[in-house]
Amino acid sequence: MFIARLQKLEKQFEDLEQRLTDAEVIRDQELYQKYRKEHAELSPLIQVFRRYQLVQQGLADSQGLFKGETDEEMKAMVREEIETLKAQAASQEEEMRLLLLPKDPFDEKNVILEIRAGTGGEEAGLFAADLFRMYTRLAERKGWKLEILSHSTTGIGGLKEVIAAISGQRVYSLLKYESGVHRVQRVPVTESQGRIHTSAVTVAILPEAEEVDVQISPEELRIDVFRSSGPGGQSVNTTDSAVRITHLPSGLVVICQDEKSQHKNKAKALKVLRSRLFDLKQHEQQQEIAKERKSQVGSGDRSERIRTYNYPQARITDHRVGLTLYKLEAMLDGDLDELLQGLSAHYRTQALEQG
Tens digit of each residue's pLDDT (9 = 90 or more) over 172-182: 999 999 999 99
Choose from 15-29, 183-197, 214-228, 301-315 the range with maximum mean pLDDT. Answer: 15-29
Instruction: State mean pLDDT over 89-94.
Output: 87
- Please report how many Cα atoms fall inside a 13 Å half-sphere around the Cα of residue 130, on the Cβ side: 21
pLDDT of 14 reads: 94
> How much is the pLDDT for 326?
95
pLDDT exceeding 70 applies to what percent of the chain?
90
Domain ranges in the chain are 2-100, 106-208+317-355, 215-292
Residue 239 vs residue 323, higher pLDDT: 323
Higher pLDDT, 348 or 29: 29
Of the listed ranges 85-94, 232-241, 283-292, the one predicted with least confidence: 232-241
The per-residue pLDDT for 292 is: 52
Q: What is the pLDDT of residue 4?
A: 86
Greater model confidence, 291 or 73: 73
CA pair distance 252, 220, nearest whole angstrom:
11
Query: pLDDT band at 131, cuts 50/70/90?
Result: very high
CB–CB of 99/45 below 8 Å? yes
Which residue has better confidence, 142 or 100? 142
Is the pLDDT at 208 greater than 60? The verdict is: yes
pLDDT digits (tens, 9 = 90+) for 18-66: 999 999 988 999 899 989 988 988 998 999 999 999 999 999 999 988 8
Asked if 20 and 34 count as a contact pair (C-beta separation under 8 A), the reply is no
Cβ neighbors of 196 (< 8 A, separation 6 or more) are 185, 186, 187, 312
Q: Is the pLDDT of residue 283 over 70?
A: yes
Could you count the other beta carbons within 10 Å of the beta carbon of residue 345? Answer: 13
Of the listed ranges 87-91, 103-107, 222-226, the one predicted with least confidence = 103-107
Residue 6: partners with Cβ closer than 8 Å, 6 or more residues away: 45, 49, 96
Please report the pLDDT score of residue 157 as a whole number. 85
Q: What is the pLDDT of residue 96?
A: 86
Q: What is the DSSP string of 126-164?
A: HHHHHHHHHHHHHHHHHT-EEEEEEEEE-TTS-EEEEEE
Say whether pLDDT at 102 is over 80: no
**3.40.1390.10, 3.30.70.1660, 3.40.50.800, 3.90.1150.10: which CATH number matches 106-208+317-355?**
3.30.70.1660
Tell me, what's the pLDDT at 101?
75
- Collect all residues with Cβ–Cβ distance below 8 Å to 207 and sequence separation of at least 6: 106, 109, 110, 111, 112, 172, 176, 275, 278, 279, 282
Fold exhibited by the domain 215-292: Double Stranded RNA Binding Domain (3.30.160)
pLDDT band at 354 (very low <50, low <70, confident <90, very high): low
